Amino acid sequence: MEEKIITAENAQPEKRKKILSCIQPSGIPTLGNYLGALKNWKLLSDEFDSAFAVADLHAITVRQDPQKLRKQIMEVFALLLAIGLDPEKNIVFIQSQVPAHAQLAWILNCYTQFGEMARMTQFKDKSQSHADNINVGLFSYPVLMAADILLYQADLVPVGADQKQHLEIARDIANRFNGIYGKTFTIPDPYIGKQGARVMSLQDPTKKMSKSDPNPKSYVSVFDTPETIMKKIRSAVTDSEGGVYYGDGKDGVNNLMGIYSCCTNLSYEQIEREFAGKGYGDFKNAVGEAVVEELRPVRERYEMYMKDQAYLKEVAAKGAATASRVADRTLSKVMKKCGFVLP
Ligand code: TRP
């Protein structure tokens, strides 16, 4: 290949990095999802060219009730706006409204090995928890996720630890395709947020906070009322020792300190100083109030958007149109390289 010489004339200004992430519409997210992921999305959206989607095609890999699914898709879409993503500046959309995702996923299926999918830990876990419905979609789920990412030529993908293996596979698929057909896809890197906020269950602080926990006292949902939030934080499990400081065997207190730190931007040392000589009662009240204030604007905006379903649908349709323009460019490139005849 001819070497390209960069001169003042052809030098391109440093391109803004592209970022993409998606969230499944499987129930109302928790404080853990918010502090660990969504809050960072908002910050990232100011810094990068970004696309965020409701991954509803992924949701049907486990059986869904259609009415409930429809409701949850719009709730999570409203939440994306409520956390402050600006649909004028970012691409905010619903995955199933952009056909290129399913199309590219099919093509990439044919460039993915059975063995690669079979060793995915999430597939192994889910085939145990959904033993009556181990469908092929559940199996090739990571390929659809690869399509989501690669269609937008994303440089960075914010994901939690449980999705890192899927991102690895997306990179492998992209590299393989590029190896066969020449550079087609950007190879995405995982993006690990600044605050590795990992929020634990309020009732068993050795477990991750989860919205599927049968005990609702174990998690704060992003739309819990202030009263509920205060009650749940006040009944969080701590220890019998009584001091507010970060330490071994103090999982409950450590977790509350993490939450408080995320909401207030105070360091652990500052928190320890603030509560020196005080008991857990005072500490929990302060944590509860900080969480209430953190989530208040999100809940208020969410309630406002949910009252206007026509507006939400219009924003989603515009987002899907913009997403399609970007995604179709990649899809056409891929189809040409594979040997399909474009209309
Ligand atoms: N699988 C992800 C999850 O369950 C959601 C997801 C779908 C995703 N497509 C994606 C995340 C693309 C990042 C990029 O959390």
CA distances from 179 to 174, 182, 183, 264 (A): 8, 6, 7, 47
* Residue 183 appears among annotated catalytic residues: no
**CA R_g for the chain:** 22
Does the structural domain 216-303 have CATH classification 1.10.240.10? yes
Asked if residue 101 has its Cβ within 6 Å of ligand 1, the reply is no
Q: Give pLDDT, residue 5.
A: 64
Can 6-197+309-338 and 216-303 be said to share one CATH topology? Answer: no
Terminal Cα distance for the chain, rounded: 31
Indicate the domain borders of the chain: 6-197+309-338, 216-303
Is the Cβ atom of 58 under 6 angstroms away from ligand 1?
A: yes
CA distance 157 to 160: 10
Other Cβ atoms closer than 10 A to 103: 17
CA–CA gap between residue 55 and residue 73 (Å, rounded): 9
What's residue 13's pLDDT? Answer: 58
Question: Which pTM value belongs to this model?
Answer: 0.91
Asked if residue 35 has its Cβ within 6 Å of ligand 1, the reply is no
Nearest CA to ligand 1 atom 13: 21
CA of 244 to the centre of ligand 1 (A): 36
Task: Give residue 173's pLDDT.
Answer: 98
Q: Give yes or no for residue 149 CB within 6 A of ligand 1.
A: yes
Q: What is the pLDDT of residues 101-120, one digit of tens each?
A: 999 999 999 999 999 999 99
Q: How far is CA 120 from the centre of its chain?
A: 19
Distance (Å, rounded) from C-alpha 233 to C-alpha 219? 9
Of the candidates 248, 256, 199, the residue with the CA atom closest to the CA atom of residue 37: 199
pLDDT in tens, 214-256: 999 999 999 999 999 999 999 999 999 889 999 999 999 999 9
Q: For position 241, what pLDDT does the model report?
A: 87
For ligand 1, whether the C-beta of 51 sits within 6 Å is no
Question: Parallel, antiparallel, or unpaired for β 189-191 and 156-158?
Answer: parallel
What per-residue confidence (pLDDT) applies to 15? 77
57 Cα: distance to centroid of ligand 1 (angstroms): 11
Q: Which residue has the tokens 């393989």?
A: 176
Strand order in the sheet with 189-191: 91-94, 49-54, 18-23, 156-158, 189-191
Ligand 1 pocket check for 49: Cβ under 6 Å: no
Bridge partners for 94 per DSSP:
54
Q: Which of 148, 164, 169 to mutate to test the pocket of ligand 1 (most atoms within 8 A of CB)?
A: 148
Q: Which residue stretches of the chain have pLDDT < 50?
A: 1
Å from CA of 21 to ligand 1 middle: 6
Nearest protein CA to atom 14 of ligand 1, as residue: 21
Of 251, 161, 218, which is closest to residue 31 (Cα–Cα)? 218
CB atoms within 10 A of CB 204: 15
- Among candidate residues 159, 161, 158, 118, the one with its CA nearest the CA of residue 141: 118
56 in contact with ligand 1, CB cutoff 6 A: no
209 touches 201 (CB < 8 A): yes
CA atoms within 13 A on the CB side of 20: 27
Tell me the CA–centroid distance for residue 205 and ligand 1, in Å: 25
Dist CA 296 CA 14 (whole Å) = 38
Q: Which residues contact 164 (CB under 8 A, 6 or more apart)?
A: 190
Residue 53 Cβ < 6 Å to ligand 1? no
Q: 3-class SS at 51?
A: strand
Question: Which among 20, 23, 208 is the best mutation to test ligand 1's pocket, defined by most ligand atoms within 8 Å of the CB?
Answer: 23
Residue 85 CB neighbour total at 10 angstroms: 21
Ligand 1, residue 55: give the atom nearest the CA.
7
Structural contact between residues 45 and 16, judged by C-beta atoms closer than 8 angstroms: no
Report the CATH fold assignment for 6-197+309-338: Rossmann fold (3.40.50)
Known catalytic residue: 211?
Answer: yes
Instruction: Answer for the pair 50, 3: CB distance below 8 angstroms, yes or no.
Output: no
Catalytic residue at 333?
no
CA of 53 from ligand 1 middle (Å) equals: 9
Q: Does the C-beta of 120 come closer than 6 Å to ligand 1?
A: no
